[in-house]
Every structure is written in structure tokens, then in C-alpha cells.
Chains A and B, each alone.
Chain A
Amino acid sequence: MAESEQRNPVKRGPTILVGLALLFSIASSVPAASSDSGQHRTQGVVPTPRIEPARGGTCPESPAFMRRNHMDLLKHQRDDTLRVGDRRGQYSLKECISCHASQATNSVAANSSNFCQSCHAYAAVRIDCFECHATQPQVKP
């Protein structure tokens, strides 16, 4: 028993070394790959999404609040708008889009760098809002 315990670390030594080497190579390649694609800005070793600036104006809530609660605000207001017919709310998807649509694509979800997609692609969350809703601001006639 005592013999085998002493023998095993010697035998496993090279395996552990190879494993550690692999781990380091993977860990170091992750930030490099993301900085190449230009999608994420690197903060230390954790890549964070690069979010396009809005077109101006003031958001009804602070960015920190919006990051955590935008889905609840949208869901609450969609029921008010559609089922109750109350269109006075300030958290409508249309308003979000009118301000956050990309200057380049005029959309919030045309590609993975656009406002909604930049975060959702990063978090690997597939949203289906835009299967029905327009991604572009309303064109005023």
C-alpha cells in the first residue's frame, strides 16, 4: 500500500505537466483570439462586450439598472401596450431602437457588433424579439 502511494506520483508526473501546459496554452489563447476578432474589449483576462454608443439623448434609467432590468421593463410594457392599450410608457422597444440603432447598419441586431447583439452574442443568449419586431427605427414620413 505504502509502496504504491509512493510510486504513483512519480508515474503521473509527466501527465500532470502536459496537462498544465495545455491549460496555460488554452488560457493564453482566449484573450488573443477575442482581441483579433475585435468583438470584445479585454479587461484583465476576462473579455467584456464592446457596446456601440447610442445616438444621443437620455436613457430613462441608468446603464447599470438597464443592464439588469431591461428585459423586465420591456416585458411589463409590452403587456400594457398590447393588452391594455396604454402607450404612454417610456420603456418601449421602439424607443430603445430609435436611440440605440447602429450608425453603420441602422439596426440594433443586424450583426454581432450592434447594440442588442453585442451583449447577447457575448452571453450566448439568443433573443427572438427580432423575429417579429423591427430592428430599425421608424422612418418618419
Chain B
Amino acid sequence: MTANRSSGHTQPAHERKGRRGFLGIAAAGVAGILLAPGVRLIEIAQAGQPKGGANPGVRWGMLIDSTACSSGCTDCVKACNTENGLTGGQSATDSQWIRKIEIKEVRTGKTQSLPVMCQHCAEPPCVDVCPTGASFKRADGIVLVDKHICIGCRYCMMACPYKARSFVHEPLTGQKPDVPRGKGTVEGCTMCVHRVDKGEMPACVLACKTAGHSAILFGDLNDPKSDIAKRVAQYASRQLREDLNLNTGVRYAGF
């Protein structure tokens, strides 16, 4: 301790001044870089993003029109099962990524039918609780499970208010090349990420359109020129469990 102090004292004065001067110039330089007009840190950060990955400027979303959704029609569910290689509930433990629900207004007796799947929240509780980081949100808002690091603890299933995730209990065979699935991991709607990345729309959206209902509208919520952004800007739409403030990517209209 004393040796250190004495060595500090023996340092020549001009050397100490030189270091101080350098630090001053360096600090001024850094400040200059940070405060240069028109330069924002977000742009610098995004410049480092690999091109070709999910676009952070995009927020994929769906708008489900429950007035157009037909009661008894399960085309979206079937299309999801086919696209992702799900069995469609042959056994009690089979995965379910999308389901049709019927809701009824008790006073009037008016019933409505609508699909429920992963709502692709902006603030996903499943991501918050995941102990390994397997549950994550992509830059474009799609919430996924990285099954390479999922340990199958199922915290995310508990945390999800929409019962959107399933656990794979049994060994699987014959998976789709685009949709790897396996025992011991949690899975859920991927918003058909493999199709979206190719510029196609999710299987359920296509099936609904083919069936002539067009009850599900898919698009970029952040793009003011997209159909979905125009619709949500113009007409009333709701999120399921709005009280939780999760800012879901899937929105509902007509109830």
C-alpha cells in the first residue's frame, strides 16, 4: 500500500498532466459521438443486426373477426394440424396449438365462435418466467420456444393466460422438416414462422380465406399502409385479457 502511494508520488508531473489531458480529450470525443445531431443509438444498434433476420421494425399480428368466424367450422385448426404435423387430439396428451371456442352472452343468448392460439404478446409472461431463456420473442414480435434449450419445466404453460402452449409427453415420429417437435419440450403456435419468413401467410389464415370466411387477417401492425393496421386504426378491436396489459399481437373484433 505504502509502496504504491510512494510510486504515485514519484511520477513526474508532466506525465500525470499528459494522462489527464488524454482522458479529457477522450471524454470530449465520446461525448461528441453520442451527441452528434441526427445520430441515434437505436440506428447504430440496428446497423449491427444481421440483414435477412427478423425485421425489428415489423410487428406481425392477426385480427380475428368473430362475426365472420363460422360456428362449427374448424378449418383453421385442421390447417394448423396439417401444416405443423400435429395429430389433432387423438390422445389426451396431444398438443393443441389452436382451438375453437364458443362464447355466449348470458343475457341475450348470442353465441359467437372464435379461434384462440398463442396471442404473441409484446410483453409475454411465458418469456418472463422461462428459467433457461428457451421461451423468447423474435425481433418481429413472434413468440417462440427454442426447443434446443427448453428443459420442459412447463413454467410458461402456467404463466400463459391463454392456455396456448402444450407439452409433448410422448415420443414423436414423422415430424415436418420445417417444424421440429419433440418429447420433453413445450410448444405452441409459431404463427407459422417458417411460412412467414418465406413471405407467405400462416396456414390458419389461408385456410379461413379458402373456406370463404376470411375471418383472420394477418399482417404487420407497425406498417400504417397494411390492411391490418388500417383496420385496427379504424374499427374497434380488443385483446383477450386486456387487463393484463400484455399488448397481444392477436386481436379480436366483433364482440
**Residues of chain A at the chain B interface (Cβ within 8 Å):** 78, 80, 82-88, 94, 97, 131-134, 136-138
Contacting residues of chain B (209-244) with chain A, CB-CB under 8 angstroms: none
Could you tell me the distance between the alpha carbons of A86 and B174 in the complex, rounded to whole angstroms?
25
Nearest CB of chain A from residue B26's CB, rounded to whole Å:
34
B178 and A84 form a contact (CB under 8 A): no
How long is the Cα–Cα vector from A136 to B174 in the complex, in angstroms?
9
Contact for B138 among A78, A83, A97, CB less than 8 A: A83
Tell whether, in the assembled complex, residue A132 and residue B147 are in contact, meaning their CB atoms are under 8 Å apart. yes
A contact face: mostly helix, strand, loop, or mixed: loop
A94 — which chain B residues lie within 8 A by C-beta?
177-178
Minimum CB–CB distance from A121 to chain B (whole Å) comes to 19
Beta-carbon nearest neighbor of A139 in chain B: B177
In the complex, what distance in Å separates the CA atom of A138 from the CA atom of B177?
6
- A133 close to B146 (CB less than 8 A): no
Instruction: Count A/B pairs, Cβ under 8 Å.
Output: 55
The answer to whether B52 touches A134 (Cβ under 8 A) is no
B53 contacts A by Cβ under 8 Å: yes
Contacts of B144 in A (CB 8 A): 82
- Give the CA-CA distance A31 to B53 in the complex, in Å: 50
B248 at the interface (CB under 8 A from A): no
A132, A134, A138, most chain B CB atoms within 10 A: A132
Cβ-defined partner of A82 (8 Å) among B146, B175, B182: B146
Q: How far is the CA of A33 from the CA of B52 in the complex (A)?
A: 51
A132, B182: Cα distance in complex, Å = 4
10 contacts across the A-B interface (CB closer than 8 A): A83-B138, A83-B146, A85-B53, A86-B52, A86-B53, A132-B147, A132-B172, A132-B182, A133-B177, A138-B178
Q: How many interface residues does B have (CB within 8 Å)? A: 26
Task: Determine the distance from Cα of A138 to Cα of B178 in the docked complex, in whole angstroms.
Answer: 8
Q: Which residue of A lies closest to B139 (CB)?
A: A85
C-alpha gap A122/B89 in the complex (Å): 39
Q: How distant is A46 from chain B, measured CB to nearest CB, in Å?
A: 34
Interchain CB contact under 8 A, B140 and A85: yes
Q: Which residues from chain A contact B18 at a C-beta distance below 8 Å?
A: none
Q: Is the CB of B52 within 8 A of A132?
A: no
Is the beta-carbon distance between B197 and A87 smaller than 8 angstroms? yes
Q: What are the 4 tightest A-B residue pairs by CB atom distance, in nearest-first order?
A: A85-B54, A132-B182, A86-B53, A84-B53
Residues of the A chain whose Cβ atoms lie less than 8 Å from the Cβ of B53:
80, 84-86
0 or 1 for each of B2-32: is its CB under 8 Å from A? (1 = yes): 0000000000000000000000000000000
Asked whether B148 is an interface residue with its Cβ less than 8 Å from the other chain, the reply is yes
Q: How far is the CA of A83 from the CA of B148 in the complex (A)?
A: 11
By a CB distance below 8 angstroms, the chain A residues around B176 are 134, 138
Report the separation of the CA atoms of residues A83 and B185 in the bound assembly, to the nearest whole angstrom: 17
Contact check: which of B50, B140, B175 meets A134 at CB < 8 Å?
B175
> Given A85-B197, A86-B50, is A78 in contact with B175 using a C-beta cutoff of 8 Å?
no
| Set A83, A88, A97: member contacting B52, Cβ < 8 A | A88
Is the Cβ of A133 less than 8 Å from the Cβ of B54?
no
| Bound CA–CA A134/B181 (angstroms) | 9
14 other contacts beyond A83-B136, A131-B182, A137-B177, with CB at 8 A cut-off? A80-B53, A82-B144, A84-B53, A84-B139, A85-B138, A87-B52, A88-B52, A97-B177, A131-B183, A132-B181, A132-B182, A132-B185, A134-B176, A138-B176
